[in-house]
């Protein structure tokens, strides 16, 4: 069961995100999920922990990298079949788009330099055409929702079947 602290309206912690993604990886053998601390570890002088997290990433069809910066969650996705590295952000703006191009290229460089697997040919995509969050505390929930949609190969659209974030939070709380 996933713990959200002060349910239903609290920021989603790194523990919650990491536990949710561990559960996704356990239930879906074709994906790999790295810790939300990956990007921070990748930029340290000792990159051994980041290297370990990416061990055997190439065997997964999809690698999820939860990304936390400036009190905001977004999702980085390395898709080894489509040869893309993408970001999904529920509060995207032009300045963040520029930052994400830098971050995604840093990840590409890390994989090439440290993992010795060049993914230079992977296309960088910053999704700006996705639904934006309304609540100030929904970004972590959006990240989990995006991952679920990607795993199910469902389009990330918000139609009549879209659940409110509090409903999705409740579903997550009951997920094992």
**If pLDDT is split at 50, 70 and 90, which confidence band does 174 have?**
low
User: Please, how many CA atoms are within 13 Å of residue 7, restricted to the half-sphere of its CB?
Assistant: 14
Average pLDDT over residues 144-150: 91
pTM comes to: 0.86
CB 36 within 8 Å of CB 105: no
Give the contacts of 68 (CB within 8 A, at least 6 positions apart): 14, 17, 36
**Where along the chain do its domains lie?**
14-173
Segment 81-119, tens digit of pLDDT = 999 999 999 888 878 888 998 999 999 889 888 877 788
Strand 73-79 versus strand 62-68 pairing type: antiparallel
> What topology is assigned to 14-173 in CATH?
Adenoviral Proteinase; Chain (3.40.395)
Q: What is the pLDDT of residue 93?
A: 83
């Amino acid at each position: 069961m996933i713990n959200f602290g002060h349910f239903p309206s609290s920021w989603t912690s790194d523990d919650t995100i990491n536990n949710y993604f561990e559960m996704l990886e356990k239930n879906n053998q074709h994906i790999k999920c790295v810790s939300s601390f990956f990007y921070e570890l990748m930029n340290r002088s000792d990159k051994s922990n980041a290297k370990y997290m990416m061990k055997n990433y190439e065997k997964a069809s999809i690698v999820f990298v939860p990304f936390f910066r400036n009190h905001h969650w977004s999702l980085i996705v390395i898709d080894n079949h489509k040869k893309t590295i993408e970001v999904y952000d529920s509060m995207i703006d032009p300045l963040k788009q520029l930052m994400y191009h830098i971050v995604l290229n840093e990840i590409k460089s890390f994989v090439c330099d440290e993992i010795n697997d060049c993914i230079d040919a992977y296309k960088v995509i910053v999704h700006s055409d996705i639904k934006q969050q309304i609540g100030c505390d929904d970004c972590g929930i959006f990240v989990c929702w995006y991952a679920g949609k990607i795993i199910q190969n469902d389009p990330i659209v918000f139609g009549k079947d879209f659940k409110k974030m509090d409903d999705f939070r409740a579903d997550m709380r009951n997920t094992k």
